[in-house]
Structure 1
């Protein structure tokens, strides 16, 4: 049994939205220079441009298609995309708090920077009283705008979630409703010394992961080149060649080759996770190299944008713990440093060294902070109750607006077998008909 907002068996896979990250199959051939990409290629949506979508195709790279030239690869993704789109259309008017976030809010934007928005929405009262589980997130098709349901936002803020606290404290935060104003008035209830872990230590741990990912990427171009030049090379052959040039220490030559073999395995697993290989195996990596794809894009985790934001989080934690308040707009020398990191002027190793050098200051701020050790849970609980009561009042009074008389229709719970096969009796009837023919 699956309780859904409504039955979805009517969905047209050519019409549903395709959010970023959706796995798709192409419906047409495409010629790229001298190469033909056949119909049926598999990829993942990575960007949108009006009515067209950029798709990262396995073994090919990014190719642009019209929407009607693509279908979702999995039926479940069709259903998810439709639900996400329907929730956005129905509940976008119920947003009570909104802010521009990201580089444009931190004072680190350039001319081509995206405009990202986050916010909070309230569920109309009828959406909370039935069996159908209402959405807790609203996300635009291109992923540039996302909103949390008010209870989810409060719970995240109590955990000192960086995205949520920054939404509440950024200069651009703007109440769209009285409920949004209440959230901003109560934002101090969510601040605690837990910022040390959720901002500072989290960012340091992620930078260590970046360092590991950087080491993983060191020799990938070389491995692909070797396979392109000599397709007969085996996994053991590649491991021996890699061990001969790797600077990593190992007790014996056999250990060096074992490390190198594990690296190659990590490489093809990583490329599969990026949608570049159809399977997590050496044969797929070799086929990828033979296809002529020898220039690999920088992995998302290794892009300067990710590293600079982690350093920004550490600096934010230090200021907030030390001063008891924070201005999220970055200024002065730190701003120039972050812009240099973002522009790729700093190698990753130097960025990690900077973050490690900030650790003593982070620890000192933690020890000296006057922030409370825990958020004010009773105040947060009272806030949520106040919001729930206000939403119920507007519904019962048929007050004007999206939380009152103008609220979208409440979802209806239905029995939904999704994309299951026809009923057993129908299958038998079909088979019997064929026998008779």
Structure 2
């Protein structure tokens, strides 16, 4: 008979929770009137799960909105040994935000986990968010029309020694693209000889089969027939446009509309909440390198909330992030922190704790 599923309610009813803390903006000291209350914690598996089948292992239990998350003890230690920012913050939660802590959790020392690996995890994640912010800024500043451009908009023809947009030429000459035949030109990349059969008796294929085509069509050209002109197709430009179009409209479909409207409301064209947390993570990385501690509650609440409110210029924030990144590299280079967490001490303590739990 399969074991009953683990739920938050079951964790609490069976006394399986080892640590429970307020996390997120309230732990950072950055909560505002509209902030949610996030909870993170640690639990251990019921004996039947832990000593049962491998498939019974459950690394995480959370609610539907994912703002309450508990990590299984072994998974918690595993992530700490990777210097995962969320777990490092959970380990360093200020006492006033700890809702419950089992006495056995005292076996794990924060000093074992602080290492130079935090440069990669804290600053590395922050820099990935900067990249994300740059991409978001690009999407906001350069919105794409819902009407997709056709392949013809990336083609040019050469007439009387000058280049003319293909669509413009088709309109000026009242030429239907279906009456055109194309042939490749030897040793010429993305260049085509262009033929016209307005009688439509030669069976030319036209320039494309349908408006969403990604390639131009070639035709069989009768021997001796002379080209009317030559056509250049910016294939790389069209491929990039198609990728950008797909990415942009996927972003529109999947974006958090509340966050997006908040971004637009402050008219600075960046995700202000994302940038606030990016700067926060970089500052925490600098703390770790210089004083060897994870400072969860931030001392510069007003400055960070000012970023969240959109009071800062986008390029100014990027410059601040870039400067912090430079300082972090230098600080970790001169730091006396170990290169990696003390895995032996952590795993030995885990064995002791598990032994007492079971």
Scaled to the shorter chain, the TM-score interval is 0.5 to 0.7
Q: Does the 8 A contact of 2:136 with 2:271 survive in 1?
A: no
- 2:141 is the alignment partner of 1:160: no
For 1:328, which of 273, 290, 296 is the aligned residue? 296
Instruction: Kindly report which structure 2 residues correspond to 1:76-91, keeping only aligned pairs within 5 A, or say none.
Output: 83=5, 86-91=6-11
Q: Secondary structure at the match of 1:223?
A: coil
Root-mean-square deviation (CA), in Å? 3.0
Aligned position for 1:360: 326
The separation in 2 between residues aligned to 1:273 and 1:327, in whole angstroms, is 33
The separation in 2 between residues aligned to 1:168 and 1:275, in whole angstroms, is 30
Aligned position for 2:28: 106
- The structure whose Rg is larger is 2
Q: Secondary structure at the match of 2:56?
A: coil
Q: Secondary structure at the match of 1:191?
A: coil
Aligned position for 1:182: 107
Evaluate the alpha carbon distance shift between residue 130 and residue 331 of structure 1 in structure 2; reply closer, same or farther with a 3 A threshold.
same
Deviation at 1:314, TM superposition (A): 0.6
1:265-298 deviation per Cα after TM superposition (whole angstroms, max 9, x unaligned): 222333455599xxxxxxxxxxxxxxxxxxx757
Aligned position for 1:391: 357
1:106-156 deviation per Cα after TM superposition (whole angstroms, max 9, x unaligned): 111111111111111111222211124132211123322111000000000
Instruction: Kindly report which structure 2 residues correspond to 1:56-205, keeping only aligned pairs within 5 A, or say none.
Output: 83=5, 86-92=6-12, 93-131=15-53, 132-171=55-94, 172-173=97-98, 175-183=100-108, 186-205=109-128
The separation in 2 between residues aligned to 1:150 and 1:239, in whole angstroms, is 57
Q: Which moved more, 1:312-321 or 1:336-345?
A: 336-345
The separation in 2 between residues aligned to 1:322 and 1:344, in whole angstroms, is 29
The separation in 1 between residues aligned to 2:262 and 2:116, in whole angstroms, is 36
The separation in 1 between residues aligned to 2:256 and 2:274, in whole angstroms, is 20
Q: Does the 8 A contact of 2:116 with 2:289 survive in 1?
A: yes
- Runs of at least 5 residues in structure 1 that lack an aligned partner in the other structure: 7-82, 228-232, 241-251, 277-295, 393-437
1:334-381 deviation per Cα after TM superposition (whole angstroms, max 9, x unaligned): x33311111122244332221012122111211121211121111101
Q: Does the 8 A contact of 2:22 with 2:99 survive in 1?
A: no
Q: Does the 8 A contact of 2:18 with 2:100 survive in 1?
A: yes
The separation in 1 between residues aligned to 2:302 and 2:255, in whole angstroms, is 32
Instruction: Kindly report which structure 2 residues correspond to 1:47-58, keeping only aligned pairs within 5 A, or say none.
Output: none
- Runs of at least 5 residues in structure 2 that lack an aligned partner in the other structure: 156-231, 264-269
Aligned position for 1:208: 131
The separation in 2 between residues aligned to 1:4 and 1:272, in whole angstroms, is 39
The separation in 1 between residues aligned to 2:17 and 2:340, in whole angstroms, is 28
The separation in 2 between residues aligned to 1:158 and 1:315, in whole angstroms, is 21
The separation in 2 between residues aligned to 1:167 and 1:331, in whole angstroms, is 18
Q: Does the 8 A contact of 1:223 with 1:238 survive in 2?
A: no
- 2:274 is the alignment partner of 1:306: yes
Q: TM-score, normalised by structure 1?
A: 0.56
Q: Does the 8 A contact of 1:167 with 1:173 survive in 2?
A: no
1:292-338 deviation per Cα after TM superposition (whole angstroms, max 9, x unaligned): xxxx7579xx6322221111111001011111224322124xx3331
Work out the number of aligned pairs and report it. 270
Q: Does the 8 A contact of 1:216 with 1:263 survive in 2?
A: no
The separation in 2 between residues aligned to 1:326 and 1:205, in whole angstroms, is 20
Deviation at 1:258, TM superposition (A): 4.9
Aligned position for 1:61: none
Q: Does the 8 A contact of 1:124 with 1:391 survive in 2?
A: no
Aligned position for 1:263: 244
Instruction: Kindly report which structure 2 residues correspond to 1:336-347, keeping only aligned pairs within 5 A, or say none.
Output: 336-347=302-313
For 1:372, which of 338, 342, 350 is the aligned residue? 338
